[in-house]
Amino acid sequence: MKLNIVTYPNKILRTKLNKIQNFDDPQLKQIIKKMKIAMIKYDGIGLAANQVGLNMRLIIVDMNNGPQAFINPQIKNKSFLKQKFDEGCLSFPGIMGYVSRSKKINLEYQDENGNKKSLAAEKLMATVFQHELDHINGIIFTDKIKKFTHGEDLFKKLQMKAQADEK
């Protein structure tokens, strides 16, 4: 199985993904390994399963110590205080823009073996986790862009194509 990056307006990017229940499935470890490789290859800092066409609540994030898998992640707390980053996304090549998100978050998740864990993230990492959490809930970052910095016209064109495909 080879993983390819799914780009907008593919419908799986609008799908709320299913919880992972079976941690004994050897395929899960294979998928995680391949997603990590894909993320390195495409030079990303975060990647959600639907971005490679898979329906499962799994994200890969590189918190500066190499890519790591976060399974069934949930944000438990987020700060009132917001920050803005100029965000991009592997599923939206050439499109970037400022998105406002919480500056600090607390995350609960399971690791590759199903163990429950939690972590706190702030600044860029807080934004990355919120961006990836949105993905697994079928929310795309362009929904939240306040000001495009790249590719606004390209995005509008793709959006029109998506609407035409709906009909």
Q: Which residues are marked as active site?
A: 132
Question: Binders of Zn ion: how many residues, by CB under 5 A?
Answer: 1
> Based on CB atoms, which residue is closest to Zn ion, 93 or 114?
93
- Residue 113: DSSP 8-state: T
Angstrom distance (rounded) from CA 48 to CA 107: 15
CB of 7 to Zn ion, least distance (A): 11
Q: Specify the pairing of strand 145-150 against strand 104-110.
A: unpaired
Smallest gap from residue 89 Cβ to Zn ion (A):
3
Q: Which is nearer to Zn ion, 72 or 91 (CB)?
A: 91
**Pick 31 or 128: Cβ nearer Zn ion:** 128
Q: Does 54 bind Zn ion (CB under 5 A)?
A: no
Residue with smaller CB distance to Zn ion, 6 or 20: 6
User: Residue of minimal CB distance from Zn ion?
Assistant: 89
Instruction: Say whether residue 136 binds Zn ion (CB under 5 A).
Output: no
Burial per residue of 7-43, b for 16 or more beta-carbon CB atoms within 10 angstroms, e otherwise? ebbeebbeeebeebeeeeeeebeebbebbbebbeeee
From candidates 35, 39, 45, 89, binder to Zn ion by CB under 5 A: 89
- Paired tokens of 57: 């609540």
Residue 47 contacts Zn ion per CB under 5 A? no
Are 48 and 135 spatial neighbours (Cβ–Cβ below 8 Å)? Answer: yes
Nearest approach, Cβ of 40 to Zn ion (angstroms)? 16
Q: Give Cα separations from 111 to 40, 63, 99, 136, 156 (angstroms).
A: 19, 15, 28, 16, 38
Report 56-75 residues binding Zn ion (CB under 5 A).
none
- What SS3 class is residue 72? strand
Please report, as ranges, the residues that interact with Zn ion according to CB under 5 A: 89
